[in-house]
Amino acid sequence: MGRPIRIEYSGALYHITSRGNERKDIFLEDEDRIKFLQILKDYHERFGILIHAYVLMENHYHLILETPKGNLLKVMHGVNGGYTNFFNRKYLRIGHLFQGRYRGIIVEKEDYLVPLSRYIHLNPVRAGVVEKPEHYRWSSYRSYIGKTKEEDWVEYSWVLAGFGKNENIARRKYQEYVKQEIDQKEVESPIKNLFGQVILGGDGFIDKIRKMLKGKHLSQEIVERRRLKDYPSVDEIVRFVSNVFGVEEESIWGKGSRAKKARNVALYLAYRHTGLGNEEIGRKFGGIQYSTVSKASARVKQEMGSDKELTKLIEKINSHFKA
């Protein structure tokens, strides 16, 4: 599990997951879960965090947490530390309770908060603990749909606002929205298309976060940290290659291109300089297979061994994007 992303700003939204050390249970009885929720309530009041949704499983928990004051690291250190102290005292144990640090995914609120809330509320269903999420006591879902009283430290309004102005109608529509996913049998994860495994959002949001990270040191333990750096876009690569090779950009983008060498070079340089994987690069080039990207890159490297002119051109482009 990677370290949490080291970026904080006012209004940032995160999906937080924390698991028990060696995947052992962190909640052994109801009193433990009640204590953990009391700690969340305390941090909501003391540090001004907004908790949009939560679910407590036996050996891990999920939170959707917003930080109007940009204080995630302080909050999570206190939440996990405070609960660990309680747990160790109660069960006469010492040492770490959680498996390393929590995982923190930074989330684009406008497009992803609602589907993410559904995803974590369905965690007990995916795990086979219950057939319906309203049958699971230890999540915010029951109070979302009016089965139990609202908790004054949970922020319901933002998610429910997308389902109507009338509160009762919004609750019913949200329940229907969640049920649709259950009826499909396969619960689709909104976090399947993470960028760098720590950013969930559209291209504009990803660019915003990458700019925030520009010039900052990224821990070696942050998963795929190289992709979060301020690398050039595929568009920039293609534009520069077209100028160097003297061909139209369209001929590089298109499948079965006549400018095959320039296209292969663009694919090779996109992998080398953009921080994207082969699958993502393939999508940028009209949906070609990731294996096609890999083969094109290998072909370029092989040709560079015998084609000095090609090597000079690629070195020129490399120098430009390394600057």
Q: Supply the DSSP string of 136-157, one letter for each residue.
A: -SSBSHHHHTTSSPPPTTB--H
Answer for the pair 43, 259: CB distance below 8 angstroms, yes or no. no
Distance CA 290, CA 281 (A): 8
Domains of the chain with bracketed CATH: 12-209 (3.30.70.1290), 232-322 (1.10.1750.10)
Antiparallel, parallel or unpaired: β 103-107 and 199-200: parallel
- Residue 220, pLDDT score: 40
- Residue 207: the pLDDT is 87
Best CA proximity match to 211, nearest among 68, 15, 2, 9: 9
Q: How far apart are CA 323 and CA 56, in angstroms?
A: 48
pLDDT confidence of residue 257: 57
Query: DSSP H helical segments within the chain, as ranges?
Result: 30-47, 72-90, 109-121, 123-126, 141-144, 157-161, 167-183, 203-213, 234-245, 249-253, 260-273, 278-284, 290-304, 308-322
Contact of 106 with 156, CB cutoff 8 Å: no
Between the CA of residue 145 and those of 54, 85, 149, 150, 163, what are the distances in Å?
14, 33, 10, 9, 12
Looking at residue 101, its pLDDT comes to 82
256: its two tokens:
């079965």
DSSP 210-221: HHHHTT----TT
What letter would DSSP give residue 106? E
Tell me the residue type at 180: Q
- Mean pLDDT per block of 10 residues along the chain (323 residues) reads 63 95 95 97 92 97 95 93 96 93 91 95 94 96 96 95 93 95 75 82 88 59 44 83 87 73 87 75 83 84 83 80 59
Residue at token pair 């600057």? 323
**What is the b/e burial string over 267-287, where b = at least 16 CB atoms within 10 angstroms of the residue's CB?**
bbbbbbbbbbebebbbebbee
Residue 293 tokens read as 């990207």
Residue 169: what pLDDT? 96
**Helix or strand holding residue 107 (H, E):** strand 103-107
pTM of the model: 0.69
Residue 287 main-chain phi, psi, to 5 deg: 85, 25
* Per-residue model confidence (pLDDT) at position 121: 97
| CB-based contacts of 291-296 (< 8 A; 24+ apart in sequence) | 292/267, 293/267, 296/263, 296/264, 296/267, 296/268
Distance of alpha carbon 134 from alpha carbon 175, whole angstroms: 9
